[in-house]
Amino acid sequence: MIKQRTIKQSVKETGIGLHKGDKVTMTLRPAPANTGIVFRRVDLEPYADIPARADSVGDTMLCTCISNSDGVTISTVEHLASALAGLGIDNIIVEVDSDELPIMDGSASPFIFLLQSAGIEEINTAKQFIKITKTIRVEEDDKWAELRPYDGFRVDFRIDFDHPVISETRQHMVLDFDSSSYVDEVSRARTFGFMKDLEYMHSHNLALGGSMENAVALDEYRVLNPEGLRYSDEFLKHKILDAIGDLYLGGHSIVGELVAYKTGHGLNNKLLNALLQNKECWEFVSYETPEEMPIRFASPFLATN
């Protein structure tokens, strides 16, 4: 039986929130079977839980923001959700003392490090996957995204940015995660933006925590970060990272293929909601052996301390 996963022990990290620029402390805690991913605002009295669900997503302008039935929100959940998807972690409590997660370096890599430091532990309960049985598609202007049946998890992704640097990099990619490693190929890709937009947002008290410490910054012609890019196609890979995180708010790993053109947080969530509301397009499946399972995750292991 392929089992559900959580982390072995709690781990804490402090960083800066993207929107307010304030210090945020985040603690990742193990959770029992069938808990799912739960974000907990410990700065409130009593604390407030926000389950990660497709229908919890509200604002998607600059990030993915989720809320509970009482209107309590938490922003910038997509990079951590992407890391959880990449490691196949089903159950976790994410405690934060703010209304946003720390942005870290703008990628999923620091979250991967934290989760691996905590250790990955299996729970003696069957892991359920969402298997796509029929193609479902959403559109918005010239943008579109769809999930197709596929025995595994594959991403066929295309972006289209009219910028000299981005135009010179790969803007279309097919990644099959049976043979490609999320940790190696995707997790280190940082969010990116244009310096003129960041300056405008700062002047209006927006994205106060945004800097070249947590994003790839572009002017009209070049990358401004002294260290350059982590991947030659980092822009494309970050959009894939975001999409994987946004789709994992469905609470289960997807067995299928994501094909998308110019998609973002809003359209990713629109696709996930459309899928979950159309039950003829998917089914829950479990697997008995690793050989049967068409998706590969990192092997579970213990923390080193």
Distance CA 101, CA 125 (A): 29
Per the listing, tokens 């250790």 go with 119
Q: Is 202 annotated in the active site?
A: no
Residue ranges of alpha helices (H) inside the chain are 78-87, 109-118, 164-167, 182-185, 195-203, 234-247, 265-277
Cis peptide before 46 (omega within 30 of 0): yes
Q: Tell me phi and psi for residue 199, to 5 degrees.
A: -65, -40
Distance CA 14, CA 95 (A): 12
**Active-site residue identified among 19, 238, 252, 265:** 265
Catalytic residue annotation: 265
